[in-house]
């Protein structure tokens, strides 16, 4: 079975202690595990996609501006990948895909569905942040497209502990995703 690892929003603004919309320590704790999964998928010659939020400075029209502080602004350090994951990406960037996204889901407004279809991907594996926002919306879109999803419990985090726990249950019990504990 061909599979793809989607590393979602593991950027400075979402993970670093002083990030603009940070998960903080729960997000930072994922770093080694996500980096190891990236290496594993590379070794298995599987597809890897880094799907990262992209916002513009002073964009008063984007719906997130009413919900969250400005984050992942084009050209800022906040969009850089965090920690060991960033180092791993730098070493492998010719072998992976970078995908800018402007909505919660990595599918909405991007060519992700086409990339997966072209490569005959049968299953996606999701890691990154935030469990109850971008991971969740990507998993819902995958479900609606008939693409099975695997979520790594120790590969996702949120700044909202209750939302994180709810999303893990929702993945498994409502979307039929496999949650690896």
Confidence of residue 26 (pLDDT cuts 50, 70, 90): very high
Strand, coil or helix: 123 = strand
Tell me the average pLDDT across 77-106.
96
**Looking at 64-73, 78-87, 90-99, which range is the least confident one?**
64-73
Spatial contact of 167 and 136, defined as CB atoms under 8 Å apart: yes
Spatial contact of 96 and 48, defined as CB atoms under 8 Å apart: yes
Cα–Cα nearest to 80, from 60, 110, 50: 50
pTM higher than 0.85: yes
pLDDT tens across 70-89, in order?
A: 888 899 999 999 999 999 99
Return the domain boundaries, the chain: 3-180
Tell me the average pLDDT across 109-137.
97
| Angle, helix 161-173 to helix 136-144, in steps of 10 degrees | 20
Q: What is the CATH number of domain 3-180?
A: 3.40.50.850
Q: What is the pLDDT of residue 28?
A: 98
């Amino acid at each position: 079975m061909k599979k793809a690892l989607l590393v979602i929003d593991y950027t400075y603004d979402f993970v670093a202690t002083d990030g603009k919309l940070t998960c903080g320590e729960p997000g930072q704790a994922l770093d080694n595990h996500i980096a190891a999964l990236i290496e594993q998928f590379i070794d298995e010659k599987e597809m890897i996609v880094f799907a990262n939020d992209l916002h513009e400075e002073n964009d008063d029209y984007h719906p997130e501006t009413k919900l969250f502080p400005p984050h992942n602004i084009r050209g800022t350090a906040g969009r850089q990948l965090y920690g060991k994951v960033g180092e791993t990406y730098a070493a492998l960037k010719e072998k992976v895909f970078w995908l800018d996204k402007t909505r919660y889901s990595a599918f909405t407004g991007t060519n992700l569905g086409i990339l997966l279809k072209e490569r005959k991907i049968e299953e996606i594996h999701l890691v990154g942040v935030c469990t109850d926002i971008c991971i969740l919306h990507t998993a819902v879109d995958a479900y609606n497209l008939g693409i099975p999803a695997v979520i790594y419990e120790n590969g996702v985090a949120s700044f909202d502990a209750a939302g994180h726990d709810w999303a893990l249950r929702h993945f498994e019990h409502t979307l039929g995703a496999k949650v690896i504990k």
